[in-house]
Amino acid sequence: MSMSDDDRPVRKVAHEIGCDLSLLSVDELAARIALLQAEIGRLEAERARKGESRSAADKLFR
């Protein structure tokens, strides 16, 4: 029995640092760039949140 495109499982977009990019299409590269930009934003937000917590703790214990 063959699967139609709608029946196939959706492959989760993931990126491994240092992987071979030569086999990816322009659309796949754009998707990975968007994924990594979103992750950078998430990391920067967490860093800022932790920096604020640390600053508050430093002020409390001075």
Tell me, rounded to whole angstroms, the distance of Cα 18 from its chain centroid: 15
| The pLDDT of residue 56 | 76
Global confidence as pTM: 0.64
- Please state the three-class secondary structure of the chain as a single string: CCCCCCCCCCCCCCCCCCCCCCCCCHHHHHHHHHHHHHHHHHHHHHHHHHHHHHHHHHHHCC
Q: Is the pLDDT of residue 1 over 60?
A: no
* Structure tokens that stand for 48 in this block: 């800022």
Q: Are 28 and 9 in contact (CB under 8 A)?
A: no
pLDDT, tens digit, 9 for 90 and up, residues 13-62:
788 899 999 999 999 999 999 999 999 999 999 999 998 887 777 777 77
| The pLDDT of residue 53 | 81
